[in-house]
Amino acid sequence: AQSVTQLGSHVSVSEGALVLLRCNYSSSVPPYLFWYVQYPNQGLQLLLKYTSAATLVKGINGFEAEFKKSETSFHLTKPSAHMSDAAEYFCAVTDTGTASKLTFGTGTRLQVTL
């Protein structure tokens, strides 16, 4: 069974500062890993995904994440925060089987201040 732990339910950064959202996973088999963003009253949108190719994954809106097997981590980063990045971010994991379901973390709400 897979699980995901997101450290920090709320993160606040200043506009222009580094964004770091933490995600650790637990999986007995090689996983696929995802980051989704959710804006108020909207569904989830995929930011990026790791599917066993390059360990450094680049996504939309300037976000990237690095898969570190030794640390079982998949932290999300962005060099410079923008006000429009304020949203809820979810890390998710699935296994590499042919019929796999996503298991989500509890989410991290990112606040961006002036």
Partner 1 sequence: EAGVAQSPRYKIIEKRQSVAFWCNPISGHATLYWYQQILGQGPKLLIQFQNNGVVDDSQLPKDRFSAERLKGVDSTLKIQPAKLEDSAVYLCASSLGPSGSYEQYFGPGTRLTVT
Residue 8 tokens read as 């920090």
**Interface positions with partner 1 (CB under 8 A):** 4, 9, 32, 36, 41-46, 49, 51, 90, 92, 94-102, 104-107
Least Å distance, CB 35 to partner 1, is: 12
Q: How far is the CB of 80 from partner 1 (least distance, A)?
A: 26
Question: 34 near 93, Cβ under 8 Å?
Answer: yes
Going by the DSSP 8-state scheme, the letter that residue 58 receives in this structure is E
The whole-angstrom separation of Cα 61 and Cα 56 is 15
Q: Which is nearer to partner 1, 19 or 35 (CB)?
A: 35
Identify any residues that bridge with 49 across adjacent strands, giving them in sequence order: 34
Nearest to partner 1 of 8, 16 (CB atom): 8
